[in-house]
A and B are shown apart, each in its own frame.
Chain A
Amino acid sequence: MTAIRQLRPAQTIQLVIAHLVLLAYTALAMFPIILIVINSVKSKRAIFTTPYAMPNSNTWDPIGYETVWDRASFPSYFQNSIIVTLASLLLIMLAGSMAAWALAEYRFPGNAIMGLYLALGIMIPIRLGTVSILRLVVDLHLVGTLYALILVYTASGLPLAVFILTNFMKQVPRDLKDAARVDGASEYRIYLMILPLVRPALGTVMVFNMIPIWNDLWFPLILAPSEKSKTVTLGAQSFLGQFVNDWNAVLASLSLAMIPMVILYIIFSRQLIRGLTAGAVK
């Protein structure tokens, strides 16, 4: 309050305008999402007659959710998405931190070239190699399996992960590693010892990769389109395409796919935003 009172009148007007702009944009960001969620539990009639009203006992009708439950296997889609995302993140962080450690810690012939080679993929989208990725996956008999997705996402996430982690690992103090070496620790042990020290960078790597992997449509569509390997994103896409004229089902499936993400996001938003901005400043 005191801070506001000290402002000159012109500054108070500026402050009011700033809040108005931010509020207007906040409304624009939330309006479509809220509209979908509140209408997902209404009867078809109410969706069209009173779309802006909150659901009440007269308009309440979860028929859309029943259709989704009967006709689509969302639990299995969620399971696939969770497996693919977690396995890819784990592999990116493990393989990425190992390679970053080698690049940051040891002077060996070809170090700089190896760093450049691994960084090439930061700016080049992996999608451009799709024709050959599909052939490779067919040759390896991995079509329609989650392994194909996991390996592709790991490959595309590695370049940025190695880049961020190498910069971070170079800052770990020498003394620590030298003390461990004097104690006779192996190089593998020292790597494991350093890992907890670069947790913030690992967090950034996780944040950068998690959302794009979970939300990707392209590779599930091309590499794993079968019913048993569908991810949530692809499952929602094909369900929505089939039921496009059943408003209750469309609104319910949109809400079902959205709500877990929004809840997770709200819980982890602080970490997510910190990770994003930390990576950006680097």
Chain B
Amino acid sequence: MLRTLWANRSKFPLHIIVFLAPAVIIYSTFMIYPLIDSLRLSLYAPDDNQQEVFVGLDNYQKLTTDDLWQPRLEGAIKNNIKFFAIHMLVQNPIGLLLAALLSSQFIRGRAIYRTVIFTPTVLSVVLIGFIWRMILSPLWGISADVIDFINANIIDNLNTLGFGIDAIENQPWLGLENTALPTLALISVWQWIGIPMMLFLAALISIPDELIEAARVDGATAWGVFWRIKFRLILPTVGIVGVLTFVGNFNAFDLIYTTQRATAGPNYSTDILGTFFYRTFFGIQLTPGNPTMGATIAGVMFLIILAGVLLYMFGWQRRILQVEY
């Protein structure tokens, strides 16, 4: 038995091993091993002698029931869901609208619009965070000017047409508990909108013209063509955009850290799983880091992301296949 295995192994062509080795070694060492080891660490805790000992699911229990941990976990998850919901409701529909407009061959200067609108996406989150901190700073007063402009030019005009819209009041948007998180989510939308726009655009321009022409001949309006034909054909992309947004949001960190520091203020109102994980693992100010509890939070994030990805793979993709056939 052993001998045949060995014989098979010696017959396994060397060049295949050579081709696979670099990728498999780097990927296994720096990605797969740490992910598994981190899940293992979430089952350990330091004892009185600072030795890490196996404690089973105690860390998870502590995280979900302990008076010190549970409110932070619940807050981070709730905030993360809000952060994700704003992306799904604002970023992806506007991305789709822009892509739909840019896919029309009647629009001149499409390439210029596309290039400019994508620009914020190539900049680092750190720069975006500070740019918006400046713009929203009450000291500089840019946001007050912009809001005055919107009140005077848009809302007043709409109100003379009979809409009853209240004027927007300027606020320290990043400094108040009820506005900080939505503001940060909208900044993130502003930065990342280029990604759904590009993915939708690529899907829309790959739809064969004959299909659209046939519908036009049958008398369908542009609106009807879009929702009944184009949108259905790009449903796979809608799913991809959704799952990418989900994974990106539940793993987000940089923007909150840059604008609100690791404490995710005011009063934890912008704390999401990424900042909670960083704070716990690395520690802040006088609180030392706690690697095993950090690994536990990473474990929770892993479960949430895995659930989302599996739901997409087995829920969405399978239904899409049924629609297609």
A254 with B130, Cβ < 8 A, contacts A32-B135, A218-B254 known? yes
B115 contacts chain A at the CB level, 8 A cutoff? yes
Q: Which residue of A lies closest to B280 (CB)?
A: A131
The residues of B that contact A280 with a CB separation of less than 8 Å are 198-199, 202-203, 237, 240
Interface residues of A (CB under 8 A from B): 3-4, 7, 11, 14-15, 18-19, 21-22, 25-26, 28-30, 32-33, 35-36, 47-48, 51, 91, 94-96, 98-99, 101-103, 106, 108-109, 114, 117-118, 120-121, 123-133, 135-136, 151-152, 154-156, 158-159, 162, 186-188, 191, 211, 214-215, 217-218, 222, 232-233, 236-237, 240, 247, 250-251, 254, 257-258, 261-262, 265-266, 269, 272-273, 276-278, 280-281
Number of B residues, CB within 8 Å of A: 85
* Closest-CB distance, B78 to chain A (whole angstroms): 20
Q: How far is the CA of A135 from the CA of B121 in the complex (A)?
A: 32
**Which 3 pairs of residues, A with B, have the shortest CB-CB distance?**
A129-B34, A215-B124, A155-B30
A-B contact pairs, 21 of them (CB 8 A): A4-B106, A22-B117, A25-B117, A35-B142, A51-B141, A128-B38, A129-B37, A130-B34, A130-B294, A158-B23, A162-B23, A186-B15, A215-B125, A217-B257, A240-B130, A258-B123, A262-B123, A269-B115, A273-B115, A277-B205, A281-B203
Across the interface, do A95 and B23 meet the contact criterion of CB distance under 8 Å?
A: yes
The residues of A that contact B124 with a CB separation of less than 8 Å are 214-215, 217, 232-233, 236, 257, 261
Chain B, 198-218, CB within 8 A of any chain A CB: 198-199, 201-203, 205-206
* Closest-CB distance, A133 to chain B (whole angstroms): 5
Across the interface, do A136 and B34 meet the contact criterion of CB distance under 8 Å?
A: yes
Across the interface, do B98 and A136 meet the contact criterion of CB distance under 8 Å?
A: no
The residues of A that contact B309 with a CB separation of less than 8 Å are 123-124
Across the interface, do A29 and B119 meet the contact criterion of CB distance under 8 Å?
A: yes
Across the interface, do B30 and A152 meet the contact criterion of CB distance under 8 Å?
A: yes
Q: How far is the CA of A60 from the CA of B258 in the complex (A)?
A: 29
Across the interface, do A254 and B131 meet the contact criterion of CB distance under 8 Å?
A: yes
The residues of B that contact A127 with a CB separation of less than 8 Å are 251, 253, 274, 298
B27 in complex: contacting residue of A7, A155, A240, CB < 8 Å: A155
Q: Which residue of A lies closest to B110 (CB)?
A: A22
Q: Which residue of A lies closest to B295 (CB)?
A: A131
* Closest-CB distance, B302 to chain A (whole angstroms): 5
Q: How far is the CA of A30 from the CA of B306 in the complex (A)?
A: 36
> Knowing that A136-B37, A188-B18, A265-B122 are A-B contacts, what are 9 other residue pairs whose CB atoms are under 8 Å apart, sorted by A's residue number?
A15-B106, A48-B141, A218-B254, A254-B130, A258-B123, A262-B122, A276-B198, A278-B202, A280-B202
Q: How far is the CA of A276 from the CA of B134 in the complex (A)?
A: 31
Q: Which residue of B lies closest to A274 (CB)?
A: B202
Chain B, 293-308, CB within 8 A of any chain A CB: 294-295, 298, 301-302, 305-306
Across the interface, do B106 and A99 meet the contact criterion of CB distance under 8 Å?
A: no
Q: Which residue of B lies closest to A215 (CB)?
A: B124
Q: Which residue of A lies closest to B202 (CB)?
A: A277
